[in-house]
Structure 1
């Protein structure tokens, strides 16, 4: 799989510095603040547009692969044959006047070429769903598609409770975009002892997780040798994406939903919520977390 990627131009950095007015205890300060960027990113498969996401312009190669895997568009990294990133001005549709000057917002297109088998399956899925009311999920156009069974069983693993504590502590220290802007979620791949191996960030929690899954798949890592920690709630989609990647444990800093818990139980995924400091709440397969 050859996936060349352009370096985003300065206009597509992950954050920008903007003049702001800060009010503190009745005092007015005019200072510069670092603000996270988000841009529309279109995912196009073999010439057919499938989805448009608002995302941080970071690690887009990982995002393309992770999204394609977690959404079931491809079955393995080898199914993604080529990748090209294109930049475009959203002329006429997103022109904004800032300080008296018009600015054209910038969008990105990820042109992806997948195997014929995967492309025909995607076309059939789109043909079947054509004309139905959208439910707002990524590439999903029917209620039946909104809640999907996980395609594979999660890896069976055991970890110590202390590993979850370590993972969250180390994750907090590695959130560069969040630390600078306060506007980004993060997903971390952690060894079984909780040591954070690498982190992906994005303004969207699902995007951050897709980027992480893409990196794991691209590097061919053993999904049974680690777990995922995220700085968000554990929604159904977060659980679905994690379990579909074959990963055995998801630790979230906030709460899960009932649907997420049921999905984790059915998929064999250990689900931990409210993982903060030395506290965590285990919602699914608690017997695999030792030292409780």
Structure 2
């Protein structure tokens, strides 16, 4: 088993592999060279020996992903509810085995989902409409907490910190910034939901080492903002979600309900606020 206070060994995985490819075009000669390709593998999640979900994701930061997925899915209540983790390599993919608190396991058995995960799909395997939206309490309002400058700064930093995307061009990223706009860490994956779960999971694991600062912070994502991205952010207590692309109507409605500042089309110094513009101290946004 991997002790929770030890380094995340799977984080040392680069998340990409080298392949020989052929470059060509209508008016170009064909030539070969090595290219870096983002890894995408099946990863099965087991809780106390019970299979719960199989998803396709990039096999880096798997411990972070397990914590984040379990938390945003409501399987665990805090980081302390996961006692240990083990990552097992199988011929067909990877298995993440987690041991969780018995109270969490009992709750999981009452509402088990049989998810057949698929990259970029957040609701695969849900059996009824009642399961789509979790019952979450609205976050505390944050009037004036953030500034347009801090959001723009965080977005700009995220672009420069996507190492895996720079190598492969095939991954999404989620970055955590403090309310002043300083990106502290970034997680990447071929799936946008997975990247956000990894980011949330990393924050949870940090909470095992040090108390939370109380800064609600900003989550910046390199993708569109769907309903479930807002739901994951709210479940993790994140009061501001900023996307480089557009949100959906469902995402906006949920952000308004759960007190999440939702911004999109964040490019350069401009962005559009779709919910809770009053959370911006200077009220400036495009």
Q: Do Structure 1 and Structure 2 share a fold, with TM-score over 0.5?
A: yes
Equivalent of 1:40 in 31, 35, 42 = 42
The residue that corresponds to 2:149 in the other structure is 162
Give the Å deviation of 1:29: 2.4
The residue that corresponds to 1:201 in the other structure is 188
State whether residues 83 and 100 of structure 2, in contact with CA within 8 Å, keep that contact through their aligned partners in structure 1. Answer: yes
TM-score normalised to the size of structure 2?
0.87
Give the Å deviation of 1:33: 1.0
Report whether the alignment pairs 1:289 with 2:280. Answer: yes
Give the Å deviation of 1:289: 1.3
Give the Å deviation of 1:8: 5.2
Give the Å deviation of 1:153: 1.9
The residue that corresponds to 1:119 in the other structure is 105
Give the 3 Å change call, closer, same or farther, for CA 260–75 of structure 1 in structure 2: same
Give the 3 Å change call, closer, same or farther, for CA 222–70 of structure 1 in structure 2: farther
Helix, strand or coil: the match of 1:78?
Answer: helix
The residue that corresponds to 2:239 in the other structure is 248
Flag structure 1 segments of 5+ consecutive residues without an equivalent. 91-106
Give the Å deviation of 1:19: 1.1
Counterpart-to-counterpart distance in 2, 1:144 and 1:225: 29
Report whether the alignment pairs 1:146 with 2:148. Answer: no
Give the 3 Å change call, closer, same or farther, for CA 151–110 of structure 1 in structure 2: farther
Provide the aligned length of Structure 1 versus Structure 2: 269
After TM superposition, the structure 1 = structure 2 runs for residues 1-292 of structure 1, keeping only pairs within 5 Å, are: 2-3=3-4, 7=9, 13-24=14-25, 26-27=27-28, 28-90=30-92, 107-126=93-112, 137=123, 140-151=126-137, 153=139, 156=142, 158-220=145-207, 221-222=212-213, 224-291=215-282, 292=284
The residue that corresponds to 2:118 in the other structure is none
State whether residues 223 and 247 of structure 1, in contact with CA within 8 Å, keep that contact through their aligned partners in structure 2. Answer: no
Give the 3 Å change call, closer, same or farther, for CA 251–244 of structure 1 in structure 2: same
Flag structure 2 segments of 5+ consecutive residues without an equivalent. 115-120
Counterpart-to-counterpart distance in 2, 1:155 and 1:48: 38
CA root-mean-square deviation: 2.3
Counterpart-to-counterpart distance in 1, 2:228 and 2:11: 31
State whether residues 254 and 273 of structure 1, in contact with CA within 8 Å, keep that contact through their aligned partners in structure 2. Answer: yes
Helix, strand or coil: the match of 2:229?
Answer: helix
Give the Å deviation of 1:162: 1.0
